[in-house]
Amino acid sequence: MNRQPPAPLEIMPLGGLGEIGMNLMVYGYENKLLVVDCGLTFPSPDTPGVDFIIPDARFLVENRERVVGIVLTHGHEDHIGAMPYIWPILQVPIYGTAMTLGLLEGKFREHGLLGQADMIETKHRQPLQVGPFNITFVHVTHSIVDSSALAIRTPLGTIVHTGDFKIDHTPVNDLPTDLYTFAHLGEKGVLALLSDSTNINRPGATISEQTVSDVFTKLFPRAKGLLVVATFSSNIQRIQQVMHAAAAVKRKVLLNGRSMLANVNVARGLGHIDIPDDILIDIRKLDHYPREQVVVISTGSQGEPNSSLVRIASGEHQEIQIRPGDTVILSSRFIPGNERTIWSLINLLFKRGAEVIHEKILPEVHVSGHAPREDLKLMLALTRPKFFIPIHGERRHLQNHRDLALGLGIPETNSLVLENGDRALLTRDSLSLDGTIPCGRVFVDGKGVGDVGDIVLRDRLHLSEDGMVVVVLVIAKAGGEILQRPELLTRGVVYEDENLDLLEEAKDAVEAALALGSKGMDFSDDEVVGAAEIAQRALRRFFKKRLGRRPAVFPLVMEM
């Protein structure tokens, strides 16, 4: 009796490939879909006014009856941040470790979703069945506790999805990456490895987190005045290091920032952080202690507008002020794209007299949470996959990671570089592209989700670059003649009080155009235009000719 070969596995990224952040991977098998991670990304200069960006989930919405669950590898924003927006559409069980689900509960509480979702806590090395997928969470080190890779077993074979990881043999919490399980999976046979590519261009192996502890041990005793350490609120291990270093020099600790307080509370409740007795102080009692006896652990290391550290640096924080002689340590990476805001923050701190220490002058003050080249080689060597797909990164990261895998013996035909929306088919003997699925980005702006599109963003960029002009026309209802001279209001074009003559010339141009009519402004014979369209075109031409600028022109017609 001939047995039918197992069905192929579909691999379909909706986010995180071809970009940094917004990670969302979909695996399809036997007509069922498994979602791995559901993150967001933050806006860039070409998306003004947008709070953050989430994946377009049209494909999942159209196939919601096929989705069997959402599996989360860890609790960073780029892996769970879109959950409050996408989960309500799917209403499926959520699987994750205790810390990951604890952070997610905080997000669901903010969105009024707490208690609605079926959140299933998972343990490392304990398999669970989700539809046709048998999943084992494998512990990995990263810049947040309780991080996991996934071993996804199907009748076709085992898929290893690393999530974000690094290989730190001496982490702060004494829980190194589970190399034994990866080696065991490799011994049994891994059909495909999908591995984090973020740090492929960094040579060498991971520097241990203990290096940061050593730096703190040297810096803390010599610090005078108030000591501020800025880091990501999710980096519980780094916060733990600051706590230990502060206790060693008998400084109290003040946690600053809403997310910092929330994340530490979750980690403390789960036993992921050891806070010495009586070390924490309330921000309202800061003035009760000498400045040289306090360490502030703050959010805002990326110079985000309105973040706690930016408000401190600009003198706008009500309780915390920087004075000459204080020390600020930025224990975080300069994330690409944030360099300008971080340097602006540093300049503000220097202006207030602080000594500022950061990774550009002392690299050991921060250790990345992502695997550099030697760690990525080790993951490939341990798992020995038949097929390889790089994940998490821009095209250059993915391509370089694929080249690394080819250099380690993966056949060229057994590796693909995918981007969001690609649909790959994996069998026991082949890996191939098989079309695309709907994908894209959805902008979240305030309470609006998806109501800001490319046209709105283009308008915002236009306004930010060239400004706007409003022209007010008063027209007779009967006959349509102009009853008074046009009025102009400009914003972001010229300073009106110093350019009155120019604005009078602009009004003259509008009046002349209205006198000529539509043909005088080169409208075609079949176009139906009124005074508003004529005035708009006249002003566009005027400002382009006189100033070389293209402001947005908005005509306002009042009939009397």
Residue 191 main-chain phi, psi, to 5 deg: -70, -45
CB 27 within 8 A of CB 424: no
Residue 370 catalytic?
yes
Cα 138 from Cα 131, distance rounded (Å) = 19
Catalytic one of 78, 178, 196, 422: 196
Catalytic one of 370, 392, 397, 401: 370
Helices (H), 366-446: 373-383, 395-407
The H or E element containing residue 222 is: helix 210-222
Buried b vs exposed e over 273-301: b needs ≥16 C-beta within 10 Å? bebeeebebeeeebeeeeeeebbbbbbbb
Cα 267 from Cα 146, distance rounded (Å) = 10
DSSP 8-class letter at 94: E
CB 160 within 8 A of CB 182: yes
Smallest Cα–Cα separation from 165: which of 371, 332, 366, 22? Answer: 371
How many C-beta atoms surround the C-beta of residue 363 within 10 A?
Answer: 12
Per-position DSSP letters for 283-294, written without gaps between them = GGGGGGS-GGGE
Smallest Cα–Cα separation from 415: which of 382, 380, 439? Answer: 380
User: Helix 179-188 crosses helix 373-383 at what angle (to 10 degrees)?
Assistant: 40
Tracing tokens 């490895």 back to the chain, one arrives at 193
How big is the CA angle at 152 (ends 148 and 158), to the nearest 5 degrees? 125
Cα 79 from Cα 149, distance rounded (Å) = 13
What is the 3-state secondary structure of 458-522?
HHHHHHHHHCEEEEEEEECCCCCCECCCCEEEEECCCCHHHCHHHHHHHHHHHHHHHHHCCHHHC
Cα 358 from Cα 485, distance rounded (Å) = 59
Catalytic residues: 196, 370
